[in-house]
Amino acid sequence: MAEAPREKTTAVKATETVKRVPRLIKAMLMEAHEGKAQGKPVVYCFLGNNCDEIVRAMGMAPVWPENWAGFCAAVHLAEGFLKKANAEGFSDKLCTYATCGLGFDIMRQELGEAPPDAPFGGLPKPDAMLGIGLSMCDPRHKWFQAVQRYTDVPLHTMGLLVPPYDIDLKEVEGYYIDYMVEELKGLVEFLERIAGRKMDWDELSHLIDISDETNDIWYEAYQLRKAVPAPMPTQDAMSAFVPGWCLLGTQQALDFCRDLYDEVKYRVENKIGVIPDEKYRLVWGMGIPPWFFLQLFNFFESLGAVFTIEAIYRPFEPVEIPAGVSHPLERLAWRLYKRGTYRHEKARKRTGDADIEYLIELIDEYKIDAVVMHRAFSCRTVHTGQLHQLAVLKKYRNLPSLVLESDMVDVSSFSEEDVKSRIETFIEIVDAHKRGKSTHPSAS
């Protein structure tokens, strides 16, 4: 942990609401630390794993090592943790969210407490961990298994799956829903054993109501971002997702999203754009950003380009739960299934890939001029298929595209000079394309 923090690590934000996010993160972690001291169980969780409301309803504090690793990267304090994990035998090619978190867990075990310079006092030692076997990310069922080497607390792994794009959903829906309900029941039973108390089902229903309302208003706020000029850029969304994903089911998250909606609406009504002269509207495609260099968004802006919308770290589309479904676990199962299959039918009938369908929607609805992606070398889940997506996309929407390469946490492969040079060239291509002069729109 010898690395000194850099002077400035974050991007300049456009909205006032998102500037509250660092305080929210700090408060969330402090609350977990204090709760832990008072006997409130702490649970290591993964973002978007459908357990948020259940953990909270059980009176436990969820903490998010994945998000914390991103934060370590943003304040340039990840390197020491990464090296620690690598020295233990975890490859530097594994998910760096995981190796950053593992490095911290190793240090905490060695020191008997969190390393003194860990951001926000580090993560509290968990009382339990929730892994998940989801068809999106292998580290979600391997990372916490590895953590047990240093923090041997109970681990429960849920299996939640969504169907592949090419299946007729009517054929499989029944057994996917049944499975998710059973797995969620298993999760509740596990947490009841840890907490020594029974689930309060009314409380769980209430928290699901709050989280649904939070998601829906967050979604509505992002619908407003279709406006010209763009009222809220992607760098703001890279903060705004934290309440929506890490504080789901809390009043804080709901209040935050309501305020965000109000502010974005105000900016749209008053035509307040992110930059004074918006020349190019970009979409941030699938790809986790380099959390250690979010200033890249501002660099695009200095060239007249605004990231109007993004395909990642976003709210889900509001989904309709079938009438008669009222048990909270069934609601959660249907919600996950409906969200996870939202564009499957569309994909099946056209491109074969829901991520591509989403990109096409964003391009059309947000009046996009070009697509930018970032490829993080340590993550297969999000970044495998970017070349495919862009190749197929070109058949439907022939726009310039750029793929930047580095990592979400590990700064070692990142070159600010190279990235800026590539962005400058890319913007020239976007400009030429927009003026109808370019026949070769790919800079990737």
Partner 1 sequence: MAKAQVEQRGLSAAEQIYQQRSQRARQLRDEGKKIIGYFCAYPPVEMLTAANLVPYRIMGNPRQAVARADEYLESIVCSFVRSCFDVALLGGYDFLDGFVASHACDNIGKIYTIWRYNFKPQFSYFVNVPNTTSTASLKFFRAELGTFQRHLEKFTGGQITEQRLFEAIKLHNENRALMREIYALRKPDPPLLSAVEMNKILVASQSIPVEESNQLLRDVIQDLKKRHDGPARKPARLMVVGSEIDDSPLFQIIEDSEANVVIDDACIGTRVYWHDVETEGNPLDNLATRYLDRVMCPRTARERTGSREEDLDIRFGHILGLAREFGVNGVILYILRYCDNFGFDVPDLRDYLEKAGLPVLFVEDEYLISSARLKTRIEAFIEMIS
Closer CB to partner 1, 121 or 186, in the complex = 186
Shortest Cβ distance from residue 82 to partner 1 (Å)? Answer: 14
Shortest Cβ distance from residue 125 to partner 1 (Å)? Answer: 16
CA distance 63 to 108: 16
Nearest 5°: phi and psi at 12?
Answer: -75, 130
SS3 225: helix
312 neighbors 288 (Cβ within 8 angstroms): yes
Shortest Cβ distance from residue 355 to partner 1 (Å)? Answer: 9
- Which element (helix H / strand E) includes 202? helix 201-223
Closer CB to partner 1, 144 or 218, in the complex = 144
Count of C-beta atoms within a 10 Å radius of residue 51: 25
Q: Which residues contact 272 (CB under 8 A, 6 or more apart)?
A: 229, 231, 266
Residue by residue, DSSP assigns 41-64 as: -EEE--TTSS-HHHHHHTT-EEE-
Closer CB to partner 1, 20 or 383, in the complex = 383
Shortest Cβ distance from residue 373 to partner 1 (Å)? Answer: 10
Binding site for partner 1 (CB under 8 A): 88-91, 93-95, 98, 131, 133-139, 141-143, 145-146, 148-149, 152, 154-159, 161, 163-167, 171-172, 175-176, 178-179, 182-183, 186, 351-353, 375, 377-381, 383-388, 391-392
Closer CB to partner 1, 238 or 379, in the complex = 379
Shortest Cβ distance from residue 129 to partner 1 (Å)? Answer: 11
Closer CB to partner 1, 144 or 222, in the complex = 144
- Which element (helix H / strand E) includes 178? helix 169-195
- Give which of 197, 152, 210 is closest to 39, Cα–Cα: 197
356 neighbors 395 (Cβ within 8 angstroms): no
Shortest Cβ distance from residue 151 to partner 1 (Å)? Answer: 11
CA distance 235 to 309: 10
Strands (E), 85-160: 128-134, 155-160
Closer CB to partner 1, 218 or 334, in the complex = 334
Shortest Cβ distance from residue 138 to partner 1 (Å)? Answer: 4
List the beta bridge partners of residue 160: 134
Nearest 5°: phi and psi at 341?
Answer: -115, 20
Shortest Cβ distance from residue 98 to partner 1 (Å)? Answer: 7
CA torsion sign for 14, 15, 20, 21 is negative
Closer CB to partner 1, 35 or 385, in the complex = 385
Shortest Cβ distance from residue 389 to partner 1 (Å)? Answer: 10
Closer CB to partner 1, 132 or 232, in the complex = 132
Nearest 5°: phi and psi at 161?
Answer: -130, 150
Closer CB to partner 1, 251 or 384, in the complex = 384
CA distance 224 to 232: 9
